[in-house]
Each structure stands twice: as structure tokens, then as C-alpha cells.
Structure 1
Amino acid sequence: MYQAIVRRDATMEGVFFVAVKTTGIFCRPGCKAKTPKRENVEFFATSAEAIAAGYRACRRCHPLELSGTVPAWLENLLSRIETEPNRRWTNADLTSLGLSPSRVRRWFQEHYQMTFHAYLRTQRLGLAVERLRSGSDVTSTALDSGFESLSGFRESLRKWVGETPTNAKQTEPILTARILTPLGPMLAAGGDSGLCLLEFADRKMLAKQFQRISKLFAQPILIGSHRVLDQTDQQVQQYFAGERTSFDLPLRIDGTPFQTAVWTQLRAIPYGQTNSYQQLAKRLGKPTASRAVGRTNGDNRFAIVIPCHRVVRSDGHLCGYAGGLWRKKWLLNWERQNSPSERQHRLPLPVE
């Protein structure tokens, strides 16, 4: 853990907190503050434990906030984007706000898998498609969405949505949103037909996952809000608060019969328990298909909701998890601590 704070290893977010005895402050593993000496630090599993030991939260890395929370330097910009969603921002506009365009670009690439200007463009197009589907005419929609000409609007729709304005009225886009968790931000994607994807934002190959679902469902992916995304956010927060042990979200699974069968078995693994790949294969009536089960496990697009983190090797050891083994360990420990049987065990005895 000490080597992790020396490296400022942000991948250890959620695993532990580090407290500095000489300053009385506790931080995240990736805090950019000066690295303390080894003899001056101690480690805690939760922020509550650090506070109980008398430490106060660092004002630089804000360990009491959910990982992925919008940093203070970006709050004004995001607030203005929310107020003026159709504005065409330029690098000069960012500079006038005291922001570095390259720093803003890096933040959006890390948290949305796209540049700042691509984010603005997809947001404007998402709003435009929503207006078209609600019955607005093409010309007013183009002008209200921040496009300077009807031809530019048509070209953007063809490029990003793959449709003309007329056809876009019947197009159901896949909308995306960020969800903050103690283990880092997640990206959710879905629409009227249900949730298509829920993954940690730092997962490798996530951009290809988005391309895959766009091709699979023949729908464009845009920035926007939707009731299924709000529902997903609510249920994820309940899970991390220890208030939910299963999910009832509408999922667009769309896999082969074998994949669907595997994912169904995954959802049947009880909260707080684990199964091996071999156990899953036997339950499917295919005892020699452990490897195929493992591959299908890795193809799961719904982190936590379809609990592939509950699958371990036959010897009990943890193995591959796209979100990182440290997250898998955290999730399994969290579920064991918050399982109904464990909570019942911790209840105080009734007073007679």
C-alpha cells in the first residue's frame, strides 16, 4: 500500500485510505500531495475508520467524495454547459475562463471516452434527435440546437447518427451518462428499449465496447438523459449503500443462446457467495465447457448488475475481471459484509 501511494496509483481507489500522523490528514492513494515517510503513515479500509481515529479529510484529493466527482476547477464550465447546452464552445472560451483546453480535453477523454468538443457535439445532436422525435420541424431544430446552417445540421446527423433529419425522427438513440461509485465512475448506456451497457469508465477497450453495441443494435450513441439511466443510477447507489442485493433493470442482453444461458446462471449466484467456472458449466449441462463459460463471463456488458465478479477459480482464487482484480476483491468483500445473514448476525440482541 505504501508503494501505491509513492506511485500515486489511482487504480487503488476504494481499496484503502492513507493517513499521515504528522499532519492529521487522510487521503486517497492517488493524492498528489507530497509523499510522507513510511513511518509517518497508517492505512484504513474506509474513510469512516480514518475519521474515527481522529484524522480529517484532505482538501486536495477530497477522500469523502465519490471517486470521479467533478473537480472544483471544472465545476463552473459544466454548470454553464448545463445552462447553455447548445452553445458552441471554443478553446478561446475555455481560456477566457482560466481553463487549459488540453486539461479539459484530457478530463473528458478519461471520464467520457471522448474529447470535450466531441462531447458537446454529441450532446447537441442528442437534444436535436429528441426534438425531432417529439415532432419539431427540421429547420427550427437545427437552429435551436446550435447549428449555423441546415446543411451543417444534415451533415452532422449523417456523420454521427447515420440518418437524415427526416429518418432521425424514427431513430431511437442509445444515450450515455456517468454514474459515480466508491470504486470510480461508471458509464451507463441505454434508451427506450432498456440498458445496453454498464461498465467502469477506466475499463480497457471500453471505446470498442461502445462501437460494438452501436453496431449490434444499429443505433447511434449520444450524450443525454433517460429514465432507464436514472433508474440505473438509483439502483447502483442503493447497491453501494448496502440497501440492494439484486437489480431489476430492463436489460438488452442480445447474446447467443449459450451466452444468455451463462448470464442467466450468473444472475442466479446469491449475493455474498461465489461459484466456479466449472460449477456454472455443470449447471448448464456442459461440464467440459469451463473455458467457454469464462469467455462468456468476460463478454458481460453489465458490471455488477450481471455479477460476473462472483465467479472464481475452482481453488477459490480470484481470476480475470475487466474492471480490475482489486475491484473484484472489493465487491466480494462488500457483499460478504452486507449479506442478509451477516447483517442479521450483527443485529443487537433484543432487550427483555
Structure 2
Amino acid sequence: MTRKDVATDDGRWRAVIGNDTAADGRFIYAVRTTGIYCRPSCRSRPPRRGNVAYFDTPADAEAAGFRPCKRCRPAGGADPASGALVAACRVLEQAEREPALEELAGRVGLTPARLRRLFQARLGITPKGYAKALKARRLAQRLKAGAMVTEALYEAGYGAPSRAYEAVAQRLGMTPTVYAGGGQGESIRYAVVPCALGRLLVAVTERGLCAVALGAGDAEVAACLRARFPKAVLTEDRAGLAAMVRAVAARATVPRAGPDLPLDILGTAFRERIRTGLGHVTAG
């Protein structure tokens, strides 16, 4: 994308609805009904075009009375490393197939080794780990949308369902069929703890971890769990999940994450760190 591409309101609107990372730094858009301004790549709910105003810089938007979005953090400094990291995450989100590390690094102008170090330093996971988290999220979304299990596995990028089924069941904490059915017949224990991003809910079945939810309060994350598994038996079990809670607390922050990384990226990486870190922890 060139500056000419975003020189008009039509070009800017196309960048906004396309969450175009290439337009970041070239303009800011604000939503009159919310009083918030965002980067073009912000993953928040698309606004109505008639409610959108455009500005050249965050300072211009703030001078007009708008506040920065807490999700995409448009007021953050132009850190080239953070920009490359965000761009790599967006490539992974939008890719129909997972690119090799060399291809991904080339897309954002870094060497494979530099990109891998950047992911580990800022997010605490590898590019492969981030891609696995996205794949699992796509599968869960397709199952909840009513897709057949085989279809959902293929669409999420898992390949041959017969080989992926058991690994997916371990990742979901239950079989894909049960997950799609709202947890029918499952007993789920959960605990809510404080963390760097708010309140964190960790939920487990006999197979292992089945849910990680972030929110502002206990009621919010518990409601999220009930909405995901309306047919399961849910039991709060702080004492029984004590070891797991300690493991969560130990992996709650990445010191060099930086203030300018979007919250959706931080949240995805955070959930994957939790899942990876709890792989060896028994639920009690």
C-alpha cells in the first residue's frame, strides 16, 4: 500500500474494513459514537462508515477529543520490532495455509532467527506456537458455528482428521463432537485468578485444559465459560486446581512485551503460554 492508496476517504475506508496492517502509521480513524480512535489494522468490530472520521496522527485525533483504543493501542511509539511482530501475527491470522518460518520472516523483512527471537522475547512463544493457537481458535469457532467435525478440522487447517482427532481432543479437553455439543456429559472444574491482563479463568476436564478466559471480573469470565459449555456440569474448584493456579501465576507476564502490542495478540499469546506451561501440571 502506498500513500496514494490512502489519500482519499474511499481508500482509507477500504484499509479499515480490511484491517490492513500496511496502512498503520499512515492515518488514524476515529468512531464518533464511541469517542475512540484506532489503527487501520484494529480487529475491533467494524464501525458504520458514516460514524468514522480520519486523522493523520494520534495527536490530531486526541486534539479533536477522541481517546486511544485499548485494543490496538494507536498512541504507541513506532517501534520497528513491534511493527514487524504485529505484521507477522496478522499474516498468520489471514493465511489460508501456515507459512514456513522463512517465508513468514521474509514477509516482514526479518531473518528467521531474528523473528523467532522476537516472538519469544515479546510474546513468550514461537511463531509456530502462535500459529497453533490460531488454528485451535479457528477450529473452535467452526465447531460452535455448527460445522461437521471433519469439515471443521479441514477448514481450520488440521489436514487428515483421522490423524488429528486425538491430538485435537487433547487440545480441546474433550472430543470435537462433545465440544460442538456444548460439553454434553462433561464435568468441568474451574478457578478464577488475578493476572496481568485482568481476571483469568482456567477450566479443566479429565483430559486436561479445556478453557482459558480473560475478563475484567469473575462474573464475566464465568459467564464466558457457561456460554461455551452450556450442557456441561461446571464446578468451581480453587483448592483442587491450586497447582495449576500457581503455574498460571508463574507465566502471567512477558517482561519485554511492550505497551504498543495490540491486546488481541497479547491475549492469544497469553493463552498459548498458559496452555504450554500447564502441559506437565496435573489438575489435582
Asked if these proteins are the same fold (TM beyond 0.5), I'd say no
TM normalised by structure 2 equals 0.40
TM normalised by structure 1 equals 0.34
Which of the pair has the greater relative contact order for Cα pairs under 8 Å at 6+ separation? Answer: 2
